[in-house]
Amino acid sequence: MGKEIASRSEDYSQWYNDLIIKGGLADYSAVRGCMVIKPYGFALWENMRDVLDKMFKDTGHQNAYFPLFVPKSLFEKEEENAEGFAKECAVVTHYRLKLNPEKKGSLMVDPDSKLEEELVIRPTSEAIIWNTYKGWIQSYRDLPLLINQWANVVRWEMRTRLFLRTAEFLWQEGHTAHATANEAIAETKQMLEVYATFAEEFMAMPVIKGVKSPNERFAGAIDTYCIEALMQDGKALQAGTSHFLGQNFAKAFDVKFSDKENKLDYVWATSWGVSTRLIGALVMAHSDDDGLILPPKLAPIQVVIVPIYKGDEQKKAIDEKVSGIVSELKQKGIRVKYDDNENSRPGWKFAEYELKGVPLRIGIGARDLANNVVELARRDTKEKKSYSMEGLTDSIADLLDEIQKSIYNKANSFREQNITNADSWEEFVRLLDEKAGFISAHWDGTGETEDKIKELTKATIRCIPLNNPQEEGKCILTGQPSNERVLFARAY
Amino acid sequence: MGKEIASRSEDYSQWYNDLIIKGGLADYSAVRGCMVIKPYGFALWENMRDVLDKMFKDTGHQNAYFPLFVPKSLFEKEEENAEGFAKECAVVTHYRLKLNPEKKGSLMVDPDSKLEEELVIRPTSEAIIWNTYKGWIQSYRDLPLLINQWANVVRWEMRTRLFLRTAEFLWQEGHTAHATANEAIAETKQMLEVYATFAEEFMAMPVIKGVKSPNERFAGAIDTYCIEALMQDGKALQAGTSHFLGQNFAKAFDVKFSDKENKLDYVWATSWGVSTRLIGALVMAHSDDDGLILPPKLAPIQVVIVPIYKGDEQKKAIDEKVSGIVSELKQKGIRVKYDDNENSRPGWKFAEYELKGVPLRIGIGARDLANNVVELARRDTKEKKSYSMEGLTDSIADLLDEIQKSIYNKANSFREQNITNADSWEEFVRLLDEKAGFISAHWDGTGETEDKIKELTKATIRCIPLNNPQEEGKCILTGQPSNERVLFARAY
């Protein structure tokens, strides 16, 4: 009846694509590696953005907007950052097209419009922003500078995947400047907490907070903090990062400030970001073989009402009742849709809203009217139950809360079941292949070992968890001594 | 005491730049023709965007997001549109940088990363969007398709100006698809009304609604509707456009639908947009020699409270009182800031918030506390008056309303005084030089005459007003017969 989607267990990757495309979140585009975010997907992003934006503002940040382009000479100033991103930069070299004299109706790049200096399309904005901060920061009175930007960025990826890895994506990037290292580190950690709270309370997605190993650090950072989530196929997904940048960018762009004693020093920096990738994470964290399962706090439609009727008279009576319900729900701030489109049958609509992950569905027919009840169907558990019209708005609000908690708990117990200790190389390899998930294991702390493990198993160190218990042990690959376990996983 | 700004009458252009830069709205950037929108300017844009976004949603539109890039072969499909924008397109030709072997620490474009097909950075998104709509529209059931996008676009301008004309700017672009020409025309006009309402009710900026002459049409449109505003130097500014695109893009991208009788036809289109240029318009419409004057409905800070005190005891008593006022104002949805920064004196703060255009300033000192009053100073009229603490929140809300109306009325009477009829060429030229403003004159309806007038005087036809009275007359340049006046002006 509804649209066919692949089954999770048979073809996870096709299942994911089906959810995105058939669920109406996004579409492929004519541009290599770029996608179109469709209205339903964009409404989800707007909800995520609005919550995050408020959290950023509540912690004292302001939004601003910096140029899309980074002149090459600025881009290369912070060497580590530049080298890290050089391989995936889209570059503007010309600023004009002209008619192609050899092909009617066709345009060509005008060779006379070659730029003196190439412009990199921002893969991240540290360079252009720190070059600007130089003009904004002179004294300790100008600090801290707490700025965020919502923007599109471009990273030329060879293998792309809807939402998870696209050449262009939408994100926010916070860029802050501080008078001391400690303040900058506190900011880095504060924003990691903001991300973790957002992931857990709004996305209903449990995350592990940790620090990246040197190999996995952001290019140009002293430390990269991250939140890591677990997907249903046992692969990990980095859901947000917050970087302590030390004085690297201040030195590269010569940003100094005079402190209260009039002493000059370089400014301390952080940057932090989450992107439309979170939508991919959300989809993979909760959905099932019937479609998306969206957490009520972020769902574009929280409640859909479908009338079930024969003839105009029944329809009219239902319309009247529903109009009251709708306005009460709206008054309570609940996002509700009444789908009385006559071109599709109730059964088709049920399947469609299941596919789209609407948390609650109300079916209402003539008999329900007579009995003063409605049937509420939960998307997550598929449970259906009759509720009295009396106090319906409160019942719905309660149910939405319960669904939010319930899908978090489900994801959380899945995650708990999928963190496993490995104490030997054999166990590590076997676990990766049989069960995947996070594998907690000792590592000798070297980049070489990390590289070797990645080469052999495709697993990477996802993070060294915060407040990690100290424990004597031996590296699973080299047998060298180690004093804490780190989390390995194959990852998106 | 405050920051020096140029006087409007002595150097209008410098005055404008001073307001933008010293008022903290934007800054120049390291990228030719691109600017940085600073937090205060961006907060203003957020307010504008939020109001417009709600108006779009209330008229049934949904947001989506389409790629930044347009492959050249798509870009050139609608020929008029392509030729119209070809001269100002930034073009991506490569996707990778590499270390420059000849210069340590320097990067170069990797010649091996040349794209097979060049990518144009969207100067407007009709091409990429209509190429996508082809996959979304099959039947009349898929129509109307009412989509809006908030995005950055790039038009490589040779002479740029903060907010008014920048190489990259932020805007929204609506792109709708309809089953009939009439429906599309109705949409075009509806969105023009939305823009006019926004300009007048929120920006407090009176506008003239009209249709563009063929020479001034959007490339690829059948008709371009516009709103035109008048700046204080007598120049006009196009503040928003709404285009009826006919079937031009549907034909170029082969977008057909089957109607109720199963007959295939091309889809009818509109597009419409406003941009960060509106901030430039807002600044020039109302401000004076002391700084910005922002309409309360859009001002990032509507009320600023400045304490005037000697010693900690007075300060503490004021703090206490103000904290109550602030929370009452916030509860009423009024954007208030309490500036008790001890590093600057009240006089400096007064000048600073005048420069920033905050509509209302509250000065509060020990004597005010004793008398249970505060002094309210209006930014627009500079009027100061004492108000009782009783019912202060209501007094403030009323005053904000009054200021909103008052600055609209002021701009409106200026505009009314600056629409003048010209009935001969001599009068036309004299008026342009002496008074500027809108000049209402007869025109023979040809593009040649329009070009000639522009060449001779730099004045262009801003629009043919909607519901224009019919009147017999003779073209001011050629003496050819005409049956209506059109509005000329020099324009931004």
Instruction: Give pLDDT tens digits for A477-492.
Output: 999 999 999 999 999 9
A31 closest CB neighbour out of B69, B86, B97: B69
Strand partners, A381: none
Pairing outcome for strands B26-28 and B107-109: unpaired
Closest chain B CA to residue A128: B30
Asked if the Cβ–Cβ distance from A43 to B62 is below 8 Å, we say yes
Asked if the Cβ–Cβ distance from B83 to A99 is below 8 Å, we say yes
Burial A160-185 (b: 16+ CB within 10 A, else e): bbbbbbbbbbbbbbbbbbbbeeebbb
A65 closest CB neighbour out of B37, B90, B147: B37
**Which residues make Cβ contacts (< 8 Å) with residue B461, sequence separation at least 6?**
B212, B213, B215, B216, B443, B450, B486, B487, B488
Residues B221/B245, Cβ–Cβ less than 8 Å: yes
From A256, A263, A280, A305, select the one nearest A203 (Cα to Cα). A280
Where is B188: in which H helix or E strand? helix B181-197
Identify all chain B residues contacting A330, using CB atoms and an 8 Å cutoff.
Answer: none
Query: pLDDT tens digit string along A139-191?
Result: 999 999 999 999 999 999 889 999 999 999 999 999 999 999 999 999 999 99
Asked if the Cβ–Cβ distance from A43 to B27 is below 8 Å, we say no
Residues B196/B430, Cβ–Cβ less than 8 Å: no
Chain A window 10-29: which residues touch B at a Cβ cutoff of 8 Å? 27, 29
Chain Cα centroid distance, residue B114: 37
Strand partners, A176: A146, A270
Residues A482/A473, Cβ–Cβ less than 8 Å: yes
Identify all chain A residues contacting B107, using CB atoms and an 8 Å cutoff.
Answer: 72, 75-76, 82, 86
A76 part of contact set with chain B, CB < 8 Å: yes
- The predicted structure's pLDDT at residue A2: 58
- Count the neighbouring beta carbons within 10 Å of the beta carbon of residue A29: 22
**DSSP 8-state code for residue B282:** H
> Cα–Cα distance between A63 and A52 in angstroms, integer?
12
From B153, B145, B146, select the one nearest B59 (Cα to Cα). B146
A333 part of contact set with chain B, CB < 8 Å: no
> Cα–Cα distance between A327 and A348 in angstroms, integer?
25
**DSSP 8-state code for residue B463:** E
Residues A136/B40, Cβ–Cβ less than 8 Å: no
Burial, B130: exposed, middle or buried (Cβ in 10 Å; 0-12, 13-18, 19+)?
A: buried
Output the six-digit token pair for B45.
């844009």
> Cα–Cα distance between A123 and A69 in angstroms, integer?
10
User: Can you give the residue ranges of every domain in chain B?
Assistant: 24-68+126-286, 303-399, 419-489
- Count the neighbouring beta carbons within 10 Å of the beta carbon of residue B265: 14
Mean pLDDT of A428-436: 94
Pairing outcome for strands A360-365 and A303-308: parallel
> Cα–Cα distance between A155 and A460 in angstroms, integer?
21
Please, what CATH class does the domain formed by A303-399 belong to? alpha beta
B264 part of contact set with chain A, CB < 8 Å: no
Asked if the Cβ–Cβ distance from B86 to A74 is below 8 Å, we say no
Mean pLDDT of A228-249: 98
Asked if the Cβ–Cβ distance from B90 to A343 is below 8 Å, we say no
Residues B458/B476, Cβ–Cβ less than 8 Å: no
| A and B: number of Cβ contacts within 8 A | 196
Identify all chain B residues contacting A158, using CB atoms and an 8 Å cutoff.
Answer: none
Residue with tokens 């939305």: B194
CATH 3.30.930.10 fits B24-68+126-286, yes or no: yes
> Cα–Cα distance between A206 and A407 in angstroms, integer?
10
Residue with tokens 């050629």: B478
Identify all chain B residues contacting A33, using CB atoms and an 8 Å cutoff.
Answer: none
Cα angle vertex A44, ends A43, A50, to 5°? 85
Question: What's the gap in Å between the CA of A225 and the closest CA on chain B?
Answer: 26
Asked if the Cβ–Cβ distance from A31 to B70 is below 8 Å, we say yes
From A395, A359, A355, select the one nearest A380 (Cα to Cα). A359
B138 part of contact set with chain A, CB < 8 Å: no
> Cα–Cα distance between A486 and B328 in angstroms, integer?
51
Rounded to the nearest integer, the mean pLDDT of chain B is 97
Is residue A431 pLDDT above 70, yes or no?
yes
Cα angle vertex B55, ends B53, B61, to 5°? 75
B24-68+126-286 and B303-399, same CATH topology: no
Chain B window 404-463: which residues touch A at a Cβ cutoff of 8 Å? none
> Cα–Cα distance between A355 and A353 in angstroms, integer?
5
Identify all chain B residues contacting A86, using CB atoms and an 8 Å cutoff.
Answer: 96-99, 107
Q: A1: pLDDT confidence band, cut at 50, 70 and 90? A: very low
Output the six-digit token pair for A296.
């009520």
**Which residues make Cβ contacts (< 8 Å) with residue A464, sequence separation at least 6?**
A210, A211, A212, A213, A484, A486, A487
B158 part of contact set with chain A, CB < 8 Å: no
Chain B window 346-365: which residues touch A at a Cβ cutoff of 8 Å? none
Identify all chain A residues contacting B131, using CB atoms and an 8 Å cutoff.
Answer: 30
A93 part of contact set with chain B, CB < 8 Å: yes
Cα angle vertex A252, ends A249, A253, to 5°? 85
CA distances from B293 to A20, B55, B279, B296 (A): 47, 24, 12, 9
Closest chain A CA to residue B80: A105
Question: What's the gap in Å between the CA of B43 and the closest CA on chain A?
Answer: 7
Instruction: Report the 3 state secondary structure along chain A.
Output: CCCCCCCCCCCHHHHHHHHHHHCCCEEECCCCCCEEECHHHHHHHHHHHHHHHHHHHHCCCEECECCCEEEHHHHCCCHHHHHHHHCCCCEEEECCEEECCCCCCCEEECHHHEEEEEEEECCCCHHHHHHHHHHHCCEHHHCCEEEEEEEEEECCCCCCECCCECCEEEEEEEEEEECCHHHHHHHHHHHHHHHHHHHHHHCCCCCEEEECCHHHCCCCCCEEEEEEEECCCCCEEEEEEEEEEECHHHHHCCCEEECCCCCEEECEEEEEEEECHHHHHHHHHHCECCECCCCCCCCCCCEEEEEECCHHHHHHHHHHHHHHHHHHHHHCCCCEEECCCCCCCHHHHHHHHHHCCCCEEEEEEHHHHHHCEEEEEECCCCCEEEEECCCHHHHHHHHHHHHHHHHHHHHHHHHHHCEEECCCHHHHHHHHHHCCCEEEEECCCCHHHHHHHHHHHCCEEEEEECCCCEEEEECCCCCCEEEEEEEEECEC
Residues A68/B167, Cβ–Cβ less than 8 Å: no
Residues A387/A361, Cβ–Cβ less than 8 Å: no
The CATH number of A12-286 is 3.30.930.10
Rounded to the nearest 10 degrees, the angle between the axes of helix A39-58 and helix A277-286 is 110
Output the six-digit token pair for B372.
């249970």
> Cα–Cα distance between A127 and B107 in angstroms, integer?
14
Please, what CATH class does the domain formed by A419-489 belong to? alpha beta
> Cα–Cα distance between B349 and B364 in angstroms, integer?
13
Cα angle vertex A296, ends A295, A299, to 5°? 80
Where is B86: in which H helix or E strand? helix B79-86
Share of chain A above pLDDT 70, in %: 100
What ipTM was assigned to the predicted interfaces of this complex? 0.97
B121 closest CB neighbour out of A92, A96, A147: A92
Probe site for chain B from A58, A91, A109 (most B CB atoms < 10 A): A91
- The predicted structure's pLDDT at residue A236: 98
E runs forming strands in B179-235: 208-211, 223-230
Burial, A354: exposed, middle or buried (Cβ in 10 Å; 0-12, 13-18, 19+)?
A: buried
Rounded to the nearest 10 degrees, the angle between the axes of helix B311-331 and helix B392-417 is 70
Mean pLDDT of A9-14: 95
Query: Which residues of chain B fall below pLDDT 50?
Result: 1
- The predicted structure's pLDDT at residue B105: 86
B105 part of contact set with chain A, CB < 8 Å: yes
- The predicted structure's pLDDT at residue B1: 46
> Cα–Cα distance between B435 and B459 in angstroms, integer?
13
| CA atoms in the 13 A half-sphere facing the CB of B83 | 9
Asked if the Cβ–Cβ distance from B107 to A43 is below 8 Å, we say no
